[in-house]
Amino acid sequence: MHFASPRVAFVALLVTLATPFTPALAADPAPTPVISREILFGNPERVSPKLSPDGKKFAWVAPDEKNVLQVWVKTVGQEDGKKVTADKKRGIRQYTWAEDDRTLLYMQDSDGDENYHVYGVDLVSGNVRDLTPFQGVRAGIANLSQKVRDRFLVTMNLRDRRLMDVHEVNLATGAVTLVAENPGDVVGWDSNDDLVVRVAQSMKPDGSTEIRVRDGAGAPWKTFVTAPFGEDVNAVDISGDGRALILSSSLNANTSRVIQKDIASGTETVIAENPSVDVGGIVIHPTKHIVQAVDFPAGRQAWTVIDHTIAADFQGIAKLRDGDFNVVNRDRDDKTWLVAFNEDRGPIRYYAWDREARKGTFLFVHQPKLEGLPLAQMRAVSFPARDGLTLNGYLTVPVGVKTSNLPLVLFVHGGPWARDSWGYNPYAQWLANRGYAVLQVNFRGSTGYGKKFLNAGNKQWGKAMHTDLLDAVNWAVKQGWVDPKKVAIMGGSYGGYSALAGVTFTPDVFKCSVDIVGPSNLFTLLESIPPYWAPMISQFHQRMGDPKTDEALLRAASPLFSADKIKVPLLIGQGANDPRVKQAESEQIVAAIEKNGGGVTYVLYPDEGHGFARPENRIDFNARTEAFLGACLGGRVEPLPAGDKVPGSTAVVKVVEPKKKGK
């Protein structure tokens, strides 16, 4: 189990200096076919394969006859696949196998409210049960154990909506038992293979991190690691003998390293480190609890193999495809691994890896209709910010056209304590296919570049974090690739905030803007965060600003208070049930724009949360975005279907026309 990261994203590692990128020029290009939005943003045909622990069953997610994502199961070696869930509308995206080999666990919320419940499907009887049947409560799977197969652990804010406690769930009876109570500051837990909770990670009021340990159930908690605000420290696992913790830690280094720290003596052993790159993925053996491999992604993935017993496996898997791979599942005997390959110009590819035969068998791709399409290359780029800080990102340009004086969409990631990475990105492919250069920037405050780069973004919302984006645009213009008069800014969550900041703080830079679930008022944002984020509020105050002491800073960084400066077209998309960025964040700036005589198009989806999960709504908003960008920047537009919205979408649209001067 991995702890919840203290870098909570509103929405989910260093890119090294890239060699200068000079896009190829195509003389007299032939028109590139328009790729359908249905292919790019519709449901995958098949995704997320998982073997049962005994290796006898194979599960995956695929749409049913009503295009709702369900979990399907078959017997390995047979063609007896069948649907085992019956979600009515939203679709299932998170599931796993219980260790009893007969129960499949999945998570679902209600219309995007993120109050997830954990459901169990008994594959013998066919019964489906809500294992956390408590209204208004958020649950999550905390730990499963191959040693204790009839029970598992969940986190729930049942006792107090602000605090996640640990409960044990009995698979046979459904009984729920509290096993670890949150004292008020714990943001993550871990247990041993006996499902005894032994580790708690807390966040203190000053923003510091504290990791506590105990010898067993009922034993007193002891402080084990303390780290001041600004350090990136997370408990990852308990060692196999129970005597040490495996941590990712930036203490005594700029980048996070994988270390093992003895509980009794405090002695530390560095398992893996890279002075330029933060830890990315970590592969840990599920029963031996030893670190087997660590990813230090420098632009692309880069595995460092620690456990020599899997070296041949990683070497063999790497030869299957030219892409970045992850081990996504393994059976109890550790004989078969399921591996996912991600690449920039094709669908996700899944393979089964036979460890004894050292042989990979292709399973399927997540979206076969992407095969053979004219997808664009995503290239790592780097450039300096105005203060000399090196910024890294990714540039995707249209296929078959001269890379000169192109319209640009600056596509800003969410978080902001997250990052953009290399690989297949449907938004980058969609926009490039429509004729736009797409620039994704890991601005200061992004993760993966070491703690100095992360902390350079502290209290820089609307300031240096924003000027990093402007510097990225200026860099692309100076290369001759981008027309400075045809630049749009677009993003979701923090990226949506940036889209609002772009047209309020720097209204002359962008010709139009697309905001998806972006906050407009940092005061109301901080006041309305989900109750279970309460232990982490100190991190928000340290990184964004504390309303009690930084009122002027937060006001200056809130686009709402500069809404009168908006003078270019703006499109806003919002989910009505968003628990992170509430509906009011969009509606208050729409009201302010209308009051100031400006123009905006506001699209509300009553059955969505923080982003658009239902494909009908996702495709609907992207169709509106495509038409919006086409009118603004002149890119290609796939015609809308008949009617004013995509069939099945719940879009509610408000168009505020700008008032003419003197009216």
Q: Tell me which of 18-27, 167-176, 220-229, 425-434 is least confident.
A: 18-27
- Radius of gyration, CA atoms only, the chain: 25
- What pLDDT score was predicted for residue 662? 57
> Is residue 236 a part of any domain in this protein?
no
Indicate whether 7 pLDDT > 90.
Answer: no
pLDDT band for 661, please (50, 70, 90 cuts): low
DSSP 532-584: GGGGGHHHHHHHT--TTT-HHHHHHT-GGGGGGG--S-EEEEEETT-SSS-HH
Other Cβ atoms closer than 10 A to 422 = 20
pLDDT in tens, 580-590: 999 999 999 99
**Are the beta carbons of 128 and 120 closer than 8 angstroms?**
yes
With 60 as the cut, is the pLDDT of residue 6 above it? no
Query: In terms of Cα–Cα distance, which of 525, 503, 524 is closest to 514?
Result: 503
Buried residues in 95-108 as b, exposed as e (16+ CB within 10 A) = bbbbbbebbbbbbb
Mean of pLDDT values over 287-307? 95
CA 611 to chain centroid, in Å, comes to: 11
Measured distance CA(365)–CA(283) in Å, rounded: 23
pLDDT in tens, 514-552: 999 999 999 999 999 999 999 999 999 999 999 999 999
Question: Is residue 336 scored above 50 in pLDDT?
Answer: yes
Listing from the earlier edge strand, what are the strands of the sheet with 176-180? Answer: 139-143, 151-160, 163-170, 176-180
Tokens of 355: 């460890």
Within a domain: 423: yes
In a domain, 555, yes or no: yes
pLDDT in tens, 608-624: 999 999 999 999 999 99
Task: Classify residue 354 by burial, with Cβ atoms within 10 Å: 0-12, 13-18, 19+.
Answer: middle
pLDDT tens figures, 304-316:
999 999 999 999 9
Tell me whether residue 547 is in a domain. Answer: yes
Q: Token match 């519709």: residue?
A: 42
- Tokens at 299, concatenated: 């632009």
CA-CA distance, 520 to 522, in Å (whole number)?
Answer: 7
Q: How many CB atoms lie within 10 A of CB 561?
A: 18
Q: Residue 304's pLDDT is what?
A: 97
Residue 129: pLDDT above 90? yes
- The encoded tokens of residue 597 equal 């005589």
In a domain, 369, yes or no: no
Q: Count of residues for the chain?
A: 663
pLDDT value for 162: 97
CA dihedral over 326, 331, 337, 339, signed as positive or negative: negative
Q: What is the mean pLDDT of residues 352-356?
A: 98
Query: Which among 649, 36, 14 has a CA at the least distance from the CA of 367?
Result: 36
Q: What is the pLDDT of residue 29?
A: 41
Q: Looking at the DSSP assignment, which residues form a beta bridge with residue 362?
A: 351
- For position 555, what pLDDT does the model report? 98
Share of the chain above pLDDT 90, in %: 93
Among 194, 180, 182, 295, smallest CA distance to 238 is for 194
- Distances 31 to 45, 401, 433 between C-alpha atoms, Å: 28, 8, 10
Inform me whether the pLDDT recorded for 3 exceeds 60.
no
pLDDT of residue 16: 26
Q: Are 514 and 499 in contact (CB under 8 A)?
A: yes
> E strand or H helix at 352, and its extent?
strand 349-354
Q: How far apart, in Å, are the Cα atoms of 556 and each of 105, 263, 504, 576?
A: 46, 46, 11, 27
Phi and psi at residue 189, to the nearest 5°? -130, 160
d(CA 347, CA 366): 6
pLDDT at 641: 77
Average pLDDT over residues 409-432: 97
State the pLDDT confidence band at 299, using cuts at 50, 70 and 90: confident
Q: pLDDT band for 298, please (50, 70, 90 cuts).
A: confident
Per-residue pLDDT tens for 209-257? 999 999 999 999 999 999 999 999 999 999 999 999 999 999 999 999 9
Instruction: At 377, list the tokens.
Output: 């290359």
pLDDT band for 8, please (50, 70, 90 cuts). Answer: very low
pLDDT tens, residue by residue, 135-158: 999 999 999 999 999 999 999 999
CATH code (residue 420): 3.40.50.1820
What confidence tens digit (pLDDT) does each residue in 451-471 have?
A: 999 999 999 999 999 999 999
Domain count for the chain? 1
Residue pointed to by tokens 């997830």: 116
Residue 34, classified by CB atoms within 10 Å of its CB into exposed (0-12), middle (13-18) or buried (19+), is middle
Place of tokens 């780069």: 453
pLDDT at residue 13 tops 80: no
Q: How confident is the model over 634-645, as a mean pLDDT? A: 84
The residue range of the domain holding 506 is 378-656
Q: Is residue 39 part of a domain?
A: no
What is the average pLDDT value for the chain, to the nearest integer?
93
Please count the CA atoms within 13 angstroms of the CA of 202 that sit on its side-chain side.
22
Q: Would residue 246 count as lying in a domain? A: no
Residue whose C-alpha is closest to residue 293's, from 267, 265, 330: 330
- Range with lowest mean pLDDT among 14-23, 253-262, 468-477, 603-612: 14-23
Task: Indicate if the pLDDT at residue 378 is higher than 50.
Answer: yes
Please tell me the distance from the alpha carbon of residue 613 to that of residue 376, in angstroms, as a whole number: 25
Cβ contact 152:141 at 8 Å: yes
On whether residue 305 sits in a domain, the answer given is no
Residues annotated as catalytic (active site), given as ranges = 493, 578, 610
Q: Is the peptide bond before 579 cis (omega within 30 degrees of 0)?
A: no
Digit-coded pLDDT (tens) for 23-71: 333 333 457 999 999 999 999 999 999 999 999 999 999 999 999 999 9
CA 307 to mean position of chain CA atoms: 28
- What phi and psi values does residue 275 have, to the nearest 5 degrees? -65, -15
